[in-house]
Chain A
Amino acid sequence: MKYAITSQGKSLEARIDSHFGRCKYIVIYDRETLGWEFIPNPFEQLDEGVGPMMVEMLHKKGISKVISGSFGIKIKELMDSKHMQMIIPQNDEITVSTVIEMIDNS
């Protein structure tokens, strides 16, 4: 199962990004292979429609769960239609490595 985690920086010690569409990086985490990769947000500079483009991109990469500090309201319907789950941790200051640890232990 593949997870996407929004990240403020290109390090596992970076905090998760609280803006889904406007995040700096996306970490793709594969629970089967335990491998991860950082992708810079390709839509960061665009004016609008960033959220839906991001959903599309993650969907094509086979992501089924997305973790971010927050999501725009319009994203929910879109993610539901693609059977992607949205996860909002209570504390949006936790690091990417903490999230990965939680996923591994779950």
Chain B
Amino acid sequence: MGNKEPASINLLLEEYEALRLCDYDRFNHEQAAELMGVSRPTFTRIYASALEKIAESFVLGLRIIIEGGHIYFDSKWCYCNGCKSKFSNPSGKNEKMRCPLCGSLDVTCVKEDETNETLIFRCDDCGIIEEVTASEAISEHLCPQCRKPMKPELLAGCSSNKCI
């Protein structure tokens, strides 16, 4: 306690996702568990842990750092660097994609074999998309243009065998 008390608390990405699905997207626990690919009891544990951490940060005035955890990203989405739209790749093939809206070939797709190492961050203001390798992914990833924090995109779930 006292001086040794950490000034921040680490919210794992799966805990963030559990909160987002339940309290932001308003799914019930069963639906959220299914979407994250974990069992209902596992989901409840992740969610309870998220709530405990949030409560602790509120009461003790701690900074919340969202990073780490056992997660994977929904891989079949692509981002257009021209018109900044986001689109699915229903064929699932790692082919060269063209933006279906503006026709640009400057498109970033998350490839299947990179999903464990690459995270996509997106800036809400400028729509800039950046690929970051998991080892470089730090909690506060700033937009190269406006220097605002970027959000991790497309959290899809948590790999159940490794989950807490």
Contact = CB atoms under 8 A, between A and B. Distances in A.
B25 A106 contact: no
Most chain B CB neighbours (cut-off 10 Å) among A73, A74, A105: A73
Interface in B55-92: 74, 76, 83-92
B85 A90 contact: yes
Contacts of A65: 100
Contact of A84 (B83, B90, B102): B90
Given A79-B90, A80-B76, A88 B102 contact: no
Given A87-B100, A103-B101, A80 B35 contact: no
B88 A90 contact: no
Chain A interface bracket (under 10, 10 to 19, 20 to 34, 35 or more)? 20 to 34
Chain B interface bracket (under 10, 10 to 19, 20 to 34, 35 or more)? 20 to 34
Interface string A54-80: 000000000001010000011010011
B54 to A, nearest CB: 22
B86 A88 contact: yes
A80 B88 contact: yes
Interface of B: 25, 27, 35, 74, 76, 83-92, 98-103, 127
Interface of A: 65, 67, 73-74, 76, 79-80, 82-91, 99, 102-103, 105-106
